Structure 1
Amino acid sequence: MIRLNRPVAEKPIRIADKPGRPGTPTRILGFGTVDDTPDRSTWVFPDRLQELDTFRGAVSECAPGYADDTRLCTISQVPRAMACNGDSGSPQLRLDRKGRWDLIGVTSGPGAPGVRCSEGPGLYTSAPAYAGWIHRAMSRNG
């Protein structure tokens, strides 16, 4: 979360009540590198916001000990694509029953050790798991 130095007209995205079951379609957004080569000097960052269709993975689809009730395993629907360096803090969204996007997760990191971003699952901090804390922090610092 960040505190802005002036009010804005936009409303914040709604935090989902629950992240959804494994298999739930989601979408991730970000400005992270689109080439996850080991050589940082060759990383390429986009000028425009990127989006990727993903889905909630089962806990077992991430490395043991990585995913749980507060950390969501996320699987790309597109081969060789996933959130990467520079995407941390970006949203993971899902459509609710009324066709509105809700926040379910925040980019955290890879879902397995030693695996390149494009070759493995992603790990997302569950926004619904921390919704109470987020709402309390926003009301105190509004």
Structure 2
Amino acid sequence: MRIPFEITILLILCLRNKSYKCHAVHVGCGTRPRKRAKIVGGTDAQAGSWPWQVSLQMERYGHVCGASLVASRWLVSAAHCFQDSDVFVYVLAGILMPATRQIRRIILHSQYDQFTSDYDIALLELSAPVFFNELVQPVCVPASSHAFTSGTSCFVTGWGVLSEEGELATLLQEATVNIISHNTCNKMYDDAVTPRMLCAGNIQGGVDACQGDSGGPLVCLERGRRWFLAGIVSWGEGCARQNRPGVYTRVIKFTDWIHQQTKEQRQPLRLSLLVVI
């Protein structure tokens, strides 16, 4: 992979125009310490609802893709978000206290296929950790043996367009989608869904991820009341169309790869990251 000479990334973590103290608060992955009593067909997310949600933005053009915080130094996103990263300058912005970070590396899966969208996953390493607080928490990465069963109700979140060919959302959107069986989805997509892919949505249409949601999280609430990263927004035919559900990178197929890559240590590249958290 060709990595651009200098990349900055804007990290927006679910909240705008609020003032909170940034202090170390970590109660385990997949938790939402702050809970208050468009994705196509979604609704506005409340502040702090999805504390692992990240927005990757071009400096001049704004939001490009989503990502998820999985550890204090690591983000997970979709590989296709970085196909043309050599022509992009990304800016990372959060909401709270600004700080500058260096990005050590952007790792695309070596088997990523841009024509089939297979192995559509990327890792972004920060040279310095972010601080966990009420609004910044990592999502849980599931074990490779974990099963997200068909019919399970999960959530997809992002700042993507609110309708096919529509405008980007100004507020983080959330929507409930159901896991669809691999066989059922493959019939609808003429066997284009590989074992590394997971389908979720509504077969009747009306609710779906769309352009700008790519790389963002599909999360499911599991026993123990923790949220697990089941999928990464990858591709689909149109948005919220009947018999065309969203297709996600199936995270359990990459659990070992994520752990292997995040444990390795390499020298930092000359990439910069501005973080406001």
Q: Give the number of the structure whose alpha-carbon radius of gyration is greater.
A: 2
State TM-score, norm by structure 1.
Answer: 0.83
Q: 1:2-28 deviations in whole A, cap 9, x for unaligned?
A: 122421123531112324111111111
Gapped regions of structure 1 (runs ≥ 5) = 38-42
SS in 2 for 1:129: helix
| Residue 74 (1) aligns with residue 200 (2) | yes
| Structure holding more helix per residue | 1
Indicate the residue corresponding to 1:45 in structure 2: 168
Which of 126, 129, 133 is equivalent to 1:4? 126
Indicate the residue corresponding to 1:122 in structure 2: 246
Q: 1:7-54 deviations in whole A, cap 9, x for unaligned?
A: 1123531112324111111111111111213xxxxx311111111101
Which of 207, 230, 238 is equivalent to 1:104? 230
Q: 1:85-141 deviations in whole A, cap 9, x for unaligned?
A: 01110001001111111111100010xxxx421212000001111010011111114
Indicate the residue corresponding to 1:93 in structure 2: 219
Q: Give 1:77 deviation, angstroms.
A: 8.5
Hey, what's the Cα distance between the residues in 1 that align with 2:156 and 2:203? Answer: 11
Asked if the contact 2:158/2:172 (under 8 Å) is kept, the reply is yes
Q: From the superposition, tell whether residues 31 and 132 of structure 1 become closer, same or farther in structure 2 (CA, over 3 Å).
A: same
Hey, what's the Cα distance between the residues in 1 that align with 2:218 and 2:147? Answer: 10
**Any runs of at least 4 consecutive aligned residues in structure 1 with deviations exceeding 6 A, and if so which?**
none
What is the number of residues matched between the two proteins? Answer: 133
Which of 173, 181, 203 is equivalent to 1:58? 181
Asked if the contact 2:154/2:176 (under 8 Å) is kept, the reply is yes
Indicate the residue corresponding to 2:255 in structure 1: 131
SS in 2 for 1:137: helix
Indicate the residue corresponding to 2:161 in structure 1: 33
Hey, what's the Cα distance between the residues in 1 that align with 2:125 and 2:177? Answer: 29
Indicate the residue corresponding to 2:28 in structure 1: none
State TM-score, norm by structure 2.
Answer: 0.45
C-alpha RMSD over aligned residues:
2.0
SS in 2 for 1:3: strand
Asked if the contact 1:36/1:116 (under 8 Å) is kept, the reply is yes
Hey, what's the Cα distance between the residues in 1 that align with 2:142 and 2:209? Answer: 21
Matches within 5 A, 1:5-20: 5-10=127-132, 11-17=137-143, 18-20=146-148
Indicate the residue corresponding to 2:115 in structure 1: none
Amino acid at match of 2:180: G
Asked if the contact 1:76/1:82 (under 8 Å) is kept, the reply is yes
Hey, what's the Cα distance between the residues in 2 that align with 1:36 and 1:50? Answer: 15
Hey, what's the Cα distance between the residues in 1 that align with 2:153 and 2:128? Answer: 35
